[in-house]
Structure 1
Amino acid sequence: MPEQNFQTTHTNKIRIITQVLTTALKLWLRAQVSQISDLEVEIKASDRQILSGRIPSVSIFATDAVYQGLLITKIQLIAENIRINIGSVLKGKPLRLLETVPVVGDLIVDEKDLNASLSSNLLSTALSDLLVKVLPRDCPKSQPINWQEIILDNNQIILRGMRVTNSETTPLEICLSLQLLSGHELQLAHIKIKSDQGDILEDNDEHNLDLGSDVDIQELTLIPGKLVCRGRINVNP
């Protein structure tokens, strides 16, 4: 009987630690985004691993998350080989990563959510940087663009906005194809830029975008109304 009581007490303690860790992890994840609709977390670890602060695997599922103003419709992730400050967490302090964590998963962004994100600095800056990259050399590149619409088609993106000058605004439409060149490089091609005064650019050259060594994309698919991405990213402490 005493042995059974010991085992029961030990199991209850581990269950409490797991609950505390799950709650701390959810709080940490919620702190990374400004809004989230649904969040599910599953920790896969043995008792000894939990007590040592080393978690072999954590599964994360979330919907309608907002990261730096960018709406993400659905995201499903698996983080592996996580090392955390378990001692501090058990004392009620915030969870902190002690090492870089590789995270693999799937991300879906609907066209409507992408359009709702146009006012975010993250997306508007990315679109403006893209425009600077593909505009002809003789085209003024410092004029701000008020982005109004993004249309997702089969491996193609259409961007619509208004170029703002001192005296007037000019409608602008950019059409381009987007393909995955490597795990960290995207390729832009078949670029067409036009305004209400006619074509500004029709470029058959290819432009590559380097996303950095912390990114490894295995799949990037554009279908009408939706962007689907599958790959890995390193989350640094």
Structure 2
Amino acid sequence: MFFTWFLTWPAFAQIAGSLLNPLVAAWIRSEVQSVDNLQVQITGSDSQILNGQIPQAQVAGDNLSYQGFQISQLQIRGQDIRLNVSEAVQGRSPLRLLAPVPVQVSLRLTEDDLNRTLQAPLIQSQLAQAQVQLPFGDQSVPFLISQPNVTLEEGRVRIQANLTTPEGTAVPITVLTGLQAQNQNQLLLVNPVWVSEGQEIPVPGLADFPIQLDPGVRIDRLELQAGQILYEGMLTIYPEAVAAPPG
């Protein structure tokens, strides 16, 4: 009773937004391994914020690291966000998201970001199990991918890796390809080529090969520049207790 009265007291309500900003910032810091220059801006009336209904929020940060994934610059803007503000302010529960929310995302990934991410345990475990079927002589052979390294060029990605046969034979390869968004949540390999002894050899089997992204992802802009990738689009963030729909 006393706490409910205290929250509705005008002097407290006037500073509700300024109290929630550092609370959200602390929550974000607890969810990631590291982030620099973190900025949080909550917009809404005092009554909305205290009831956990956030009309709009903006988050920006640099050099973010999350479960081994690296992002040099990130900006997120979301609307109609539901948080358990009352419980968090009372100290009865950590701040958490109560419902899925689509957010507008703008990010910059550097070449170093991508190569550090490729070393993340999650990526390495997936690579250890992934196989690609490629023509080898007159048959198709499954290869394992190891030691991938990415170089970002203007409009293209250069990928170097080792392909290993089931017998243990390692074949170093270099692939050069463009990337293009299709249907807003698919990526296509554009004009992929093998690079061998300075020669670029087209790979028709990989041309227009679709890479399906999570259904909660939408690509509005994808630009490959020398040393970096610029992305703008949408991403749905799900509460921990709510599973994302299958892809």
Query: What's the TM-score once normalised by structure 2's chain length?
Result: 0.79
Cross-structure match for 2:185: 184
Q: Secondary structure at the match of 2:141?
A: coil
Aligned residues: 225
SS of the aligned residue for 1:116 comes to helix
Corresponding residue for residue 243 of structure 2: none
Alpha-carbon distance in structure 2 between the residues aligned to 1:17 and 1:127: 46
Once the two structures are superposed, the pairs formed by residues 137-216 of structure 1 within 5 Å of their partners are 138-147=139-148, 149-164=149-164, 169-193=170-194, 202-203=203-204, 205-216=207-218
How much identity, in percent, do the aligned residues show?
27
Residue 110 (structure 2) pairs with residue 110 (structure 1): yes
Which 5+ residue runs of structure 2 have no aligned equivalent?
1-8, 240-247
Matches of 2:168 and 2:142, distance apart in 1: 17
Higher helix share: 1
1:156 is displaced (CA, Å) by 1.1
CA change 1:187–1:131 in 2 (3 A) is: farther
Seen in structure 2, the aligned counterparts of structure 1 residues 132 and 121 have a Cα distance that, compared at 3 Å, is farther
1:222 is aligned to 2:221? no
Contact 1:24 1:94 in 2 (8 A): no
The superposition leaves residues 154-208 of structure 1 with CA deviations (integer Å, 9 ceiling, x where unpaired) of 2211111223466554321121111011211111132223567x99972263111
Secondary structure of 2:144's partner?
A: coil
SS in 2 for 1:140: strand
**How do residues 111-126 of structure 1 correspond to structure 2 at under 5 angstroms?**
111-124=111-124
Q: Which one-letter code corresponds to 2:172 in the other structure?
A: P
Structure 1 residues 169 and 129: CA distance shift in structure 2, 3 A: closer
Structure 1 residue runs without a partner (length 5+): 1-8
Q: Which amino acid aligns with 1:25?
A: V
What is the alpha-carbon distance in structure 2 between the residues aligned to residue 125 and residue 182 of structure 1?
29
Partner in structure 2 of residue 52 of structure 1 = 51
Equivalent-residue separation in structure 2 for 1:113 and 1:174 (angstroms): 19
Normalized against structure 1, the TM-score is what?
Answer: 0.82
Q: CA deviation at 1:209?
A: 1.6
**TM-aligned CA deviation for residue 96 of structure 1:** 1.3
**How big is the shift at 1:31?**
3.1
Structure 1 residues 125 and 193: alpha-carbon distance in aligned structure 2, compared to 1, 3 A threshold: farther
In the other structure, the counterpart of 1:4 is none
Describe how 1:20-39 pairs up with structure 2 within 5 A.
20-39=19-38
Instruction: Give the deviation of 1:236 after TM superposition.
Output: 1.1
Aligned to 1:87: 86
Q: Is the 8 A contact 2:154 2:226 kept in 1?
A: yes
Deviation at 1:235, TM superposition (A): 0.6
Q: Which amino acid aligns with 1:173?
A: T
Q: Which runs of 4+ in 1 moved over 4 A?
A: 122-131, 164-168, 198-201
Instruction: Supply the distance in 2 between the matched residues of 1:168 and 1:195 (Cα, whole angstroms).
Output: 18
Q: Take 2:41 and 2:111, find their aligned partners in 1: how far apart are those partners? A: 29
Say which is worse superposed, 61-70 or 183-192, in terms of deviation.
183-192
Compared with structure 1, are the counterparts of its residues 122 and 221 closer, same or farther at alpha carbon in structure 2 (3 Å cutoff)? farther
8 Å CA contact 1:170–1:195 kept in 2: the answer is no
Give CA deviations for 1:203-222 in whole Å, capped at 9, x if unaligned: 26311122132111110110
What amino acid maps onto 2:45 in structure 1?
Answer: S
Residue 74 of structure 2 aligns to a residue whose secondary structure is strand
2:4 matched to which residue of 1?
A: none
